[in-house]
Every structure is written in structure tokens, then in C-alpha cells.
Amino acid sequence: MSGSDAGMALDRGQKAGLLLFAGAAEFAIGMTAAQAMYPGYNISHEFLGDLGVGPTALLFNASIVFLGLTFIAAAWLLSRAVQNRPLAIAVALAGIGALGFGLIPATEDELYVQLHTIAALLAYGGGALSAILAFRILRSPLRYVSVALGGISLVALGLLMMKIYVLLDRGGMERAIIWPVLVWGMAAGGSILTMPSAASKGSVGAGSRTE
């Protein structure tokens, strides 16, 4: 490999950033498209899982399965690129949950509904924790934004579980969970991706914080 080729190669941390960005961006587009294509779909009231059993099932489920696969792969790379095992575990849980969300649609079968709910909790909880735990590997001011996004998502998850929707309906509260995670995935993923390789192996790879 030539020197220029070596300089263009991505290290594990940068590859993880690329996967986080790609997965979050792709699902944001796929979810928005599915909502627009579903006849009579009300984003304020309907759950995301409804998109996986109607006329947009193929688009939505394929989109969230891709999200899950990218997060699982990113978690594997992060576990080897950063000294932050809790972050890698949280990202993996989010990915596993997203994968299950798409592979086990919320049909009328009670068992499927229960498994789908468990997958959703893994995806949402893991995603919110990932944003909070990423504090150690991100630079200022993004690290603080990351924690705020994770906190918003966790609070919204708690409110949804308690069926407290404030000014939002249940669908709106579910969006208050997922959108902060997607914004985090794109922002943090892009930040990690664009870090120079040496910095990634140094500050990020060592899990240290750079102001």
C-alpha cells in the first residue's frame, strides 16, 4: 500500500463513526418516507411499529434492520478502538433492539407484540445511553450536546412507558425518543469519522477527552 493509500484508509474508530452516521441518516430518511407513504398515517398518534405491518412494511423494516446492522458493526469496532466498553455495549444493545424491531413486526399476535416491545425498549434505551456514554470520546461542545440528547430521549422513554404524553400524543412522544438518538448518531458519527487517524488512536482511542 502506498503512503497516500495508507493516509486515506480509515481506522476502526473512523469506520465506527461512518457506520453510526450512515445507519442513523438512512433510517431517518426511510422512516420519514414511510410515514409520508402510509395512507392516513398520523405521526402524533400512531406508533412507529405500525409502519412495519402496513403498506410500508418492506421499506420501514428494511430501513430499521439496516440501522440495527450498522450499529452492531459500529459497536464491534468501538470495542476495539476506544477504552469505553459501556459505550460499545450500549451501541450494541441499540443495534440488537433495532434489528429485532424490524424482524419482529408488531402484528396482532400477542407473542410478537411482547417481543417487539422488548426490542423497542432495547433500541430506545440503548440508543439514549449511547449518547450519554459517548461523552468521554467526543470533543466539546458536542459532548455536552450528546449528553443532552441522551437525557431527552431517556426522559421521553420514561414518560411513554408511564403513558404521560404532556402536549404530545403517544406517537409524538415516541418521536421524542427516537429523533434525539438519530441526531446523535449522525452528529457523533460524523465527528468520529472526521477525526484524524492519529487523533483517533490517541485521544479517542485512549478514551481521553480533548477540549
* Per-residue model confidence as pLDDT tens digits over 148-182: 999 999 999 999 999 999 889 999 999 999 999 99
- Region 84-98: mean pLDDT is 96
Confidence of residue 200 (pLDDT cuts 50, 70, 90): very low
Whether pLDDT at 39 is above 90:
yes
> In whole angstroms, what is the distance from residue 87 CA to residue 110 CA?
33
pLDDT tens digit sequence for 61-87: 999 999 999 999 999 999 998 888 999
Neighbours of 129 (CB within 10 A): 21
Whether the model pTM is above 0.75 = yes
> In whole angstroms, what is the distance from residue 193 CA to residue 92 CA?
18
Whether pLDDT at 198 is above 70:
no
Neighbour-count burial of 108, counting CB atoms closer than 10 A to its CB (0-12 exposed, 13-18 middle, 19+ buried): exposed
What pLDDT score does 124 carry?
97
- Region 15-22: mean pLDDT is 96
What pLDDT score does 8 carry?
53
Distance between start and end Cα atoms, the chain: 34
What pLDDT score does 182 carry?
98
Whether pLDDT at 7 is above 60:
no
Contact 51, 58 (CB under 8 A): no
Please report, for the chain, the start and end positions of each structural domain, with discontinuous segments joined by +: 11-35+45-204
What pLDDT score does 206 carry?
38
**Phi, psi of 125, deg, nearest 5:** -65, -45
What pLDDT score does 144 carry?
97
What pLDDT score does 38 carry?
96
Q: What is the residue whose three cell numbers read 479517542?
A: 204
Q: From the centroid of its chain, how far is CA 46?
A: 20
What pLDDT score does 104 carry?
93
Determine if residue 207 is left, alpha or beta; phi over 0 gives left, psi from -120 to 50 gives alpha, anything else beta: left
Mean pLDDT, the chain, rounded, equals: 89
The C-alpha cell that represents 60 in the structure block: 420501514
- Region 105-133: mean pLDDT is 93
